[in-house]
Amino acid sequence: GQQVMQIPQYQHVQEGEDFTTYCNSSTTLSNIQWYKQRPGGHPVFLIQLVKSGEVKKQKRLTFQFGEAKKNSSLHITATQTTDVGTYFCAGGFWGAGNMLTFGGGTRLMVKP
Amino acid sequence: DADVTQTPRNRITKTGKRIMLECSQTKGHDRMYWYRQDPGLGLQLIYYSFDVKDINKGEISDGYSVSRQAQAKFSLSLESAIPNQTALYFCATMAGATGELFFGEGSRLTVL
């Protein structure tokens, strides 16, 4: 089946350091979405990328979609304790309707 | 009030028991989903429904069944629960225009 691999699984950073999580697919994606799940919470939509090479920013968060539409990244500049949580990517595949395949998530822990 | 409501939020049951998890939404979305979350495995799709008459199996449907009673209600059943079905279950709806998923608060199920 279609898979989306996400690394790293865990990341500990000192507050103020940067953080990046990566997603990869062996096949071309139609789109990719990113979600954040706070500890004890539910996933919340952050953004969707559709175009090849697309870059979008939300304050300290930068999202990229690769030129081949097989990979994506989420970069957080100068992490804060409020960034703590698990970040998931979810890839859409051509011919699969609006079905999304989730990566395993990256759990971010921030030391104050 | 939450747009996507799941009940119960927590349930402990015994092996062999029948369990039903309920989901209702006020977002008016046609598409509804049931996901299972296990640590490190992301979100795995159990079943999805594009409307009341359209129900489909996801990646891990074995041992589960669903019922779409109305546009707003989508229930997940475990006919005979087993310990490896211990997990966090999420219901979600999808906005047709954007493809964004809206998750409920989750139902934590423990099967002893």
pLDDT for res B39: 79
Q: B15 Cβ partners below 8 Å, 6+ apart? A: B80, B81, B82, B83, B111, B112
pLDDT for res A97: 67
Averaged pLDDT for residues B86-108: 94
- Is the model more confident about A37 or about B39? A37
What is the average pLDDT score of chain A?
94
Q: Hey, what amino acid is at A51?
A: K
Cα four-point dihedral sign B100, A89, A21, B42: positive
Does any CB of chain B come closer than 8 Å to the CB of residue A29? no
Does residue A2 register a pLDDT over 90? no
Task: Please name the residue of chain A whose CA is at the shortest distance from the CA of residue B31.
Answer: A98
Cβ contacts from A onto B, under 8 A: 50
Kindly list the strands in the beta sheet with B4-7, ordered across the sheet, starting from the edge strand earlier in the chain.
Answer: B4-7, B19-25, B73-78, B65-70
**Residue B15 to residues A8, A55, B8, Cα–Cα distance (Å):** 35, 48, 18
pLDDT for res A79: 98
Q: What are phi and psi of A42, to 5 degrees?
A: -115, 160
Residues of A whose CB is below 8 A from B105: 41-42
Which chain B residues in 60-89 lie under 8 Å from chain A, judged by CB atoms? none
Task: Please name the residue of chain A whose CA is at the shortest distance from the CA of residue B104.
Answer: A42
Beta-strand pair B19-25/B4-7: antiparallel
- Is the model more confident about B13 or about A95? B13
pLDDT 10s digits, A14-23: 999 999 999 9
Averaged pLDDT for residues B16-26: 97
For B38, the token pair is: 């296990």
Averaged pLDDT for residues B25-49: 92
Does residue A31 register a pLDDT over 70? yes
Q: Which of A44, A98, A105 sits opposite B99 (nearest CB)?
A: A98
Confidence label for B8 from pLDDT (cuts 50, 70 and 90):
very high
Does any CB of chain A come closer than 8 Å to the CB of residue B42? yes
Report yes or no: A89 and A4 within 8 Å, Cβ to Cβ: yes
Confidence label for A1 from pLDDT (cuts 50, 70 and 90):
low
